[in-house]
Amino acid sequence: MKTPLCRNGVRILRPSEFKLLSSNLKPHHRIFLNTLLYSGMRFIEVQRFQKHPEWFDEHDGFIHLPKIAIQKQKRKQMERSVRLNSLGKQIIPFFLELDKKLPCHQTWGENLKRWARQVDLDPIHLCAKTTRKTMESWLVSTYKDRSMEIALSQGHTTVTSLQYYLNLAFSQEDILQMKEYVGGWI
């Protein structure tokens, strides 16, 4: 197994690790995990979105996060539109139809670690931020020339995005596998 990738104490998954982690989940947990990955939104934003399905524009494939959704103190944007690829557009309706709610972020982090141990994946630094940082890393690695659009969709500046996500030790195999998950984002 390859060395786990981490930035600022947060695990960033390789595509093979994400596939392994999601392989043994209950359907609603898999929907939660996929929604968190494909949206690339902060955990709290996804929790708020679950209460406001009207933020999803199914026709255009965006989630429009108003000011009330983005309450982070150091936010770069007052509101933003989150771009989805075709897989993201497919998973969001299932997420919004679930009768189960996302747990608190601490419980979600504990779940990720427990699920990782069940499939012999190193649980180090897995947390509620993992899917967001994973998606942004994959997008920046795959679409290097679209860093401005990626940063805006994620609610970051281009500098933040490049500083934290561009220089990760992904193999060529990892980058090829990422395309399965990020394909069609642009």
Please report the domains of the chain, with CATH numbers, ordered by start residue. Answer: 5-181 (1.10.443)
Helices (H), the chain: 15-22, 27-39, 43-51, 86-97, 105-118, 130-142, 147-154, 158-165, 172-182
Whether residue 75 has pLDDT greater than 90: no
pLDDT bracket for residue 74 (50, 70, 90) = low
What mean pLDDT comes out for the span 117-124?
Answer: 97
Alpha-carbon distances, residue 107 vs 43, 46, 114 (angstroms): 12, 15, 10
Amino acid in position 164: Y
- The backbone region for 120, taken as left when phi is positive above 0, alpha when psi lies in -120 to 50, beta otherwise, is left
- pLDDT, position 1: 67
- pLDDT, position 186: 72
Reported as half-sphere exposure (CB side, CA atoms, 13 A), residue 166 has a value of 14
Quick: pLDDT tens for 121-166.
999 999 999 999 999 999 989 998 888 888 888 887 666 656 666 6
- pLDDT, position 151: 84
Name beta bridge partners: 81: 64
Whether residue 73 has pLDDT greater than 60: no
pLDDT bracket for residue 99 (50, 70, 90) = very high
Q: Please, which contacts does 61-68 make with residues 24 or more away whose CB atoms are closer than 8 Å? A: 61/85, 61/86, 61/88, 61/89, 63/39, 63/92, 65/41, 65/155
Overall pTM surpassing 0.85 (yes/no): yes
C-beta of residue 36 within 8 angstroms of C-beta of residue 46: yes
DSSP notation for 107-157? HHHHHHHHHHHHTT---TT--TTHHHHHHHHHHHHH-GGGHHHHHHHHT--
- CA–CA gap between residue 145 and residue 167 (Å, rounded): 14
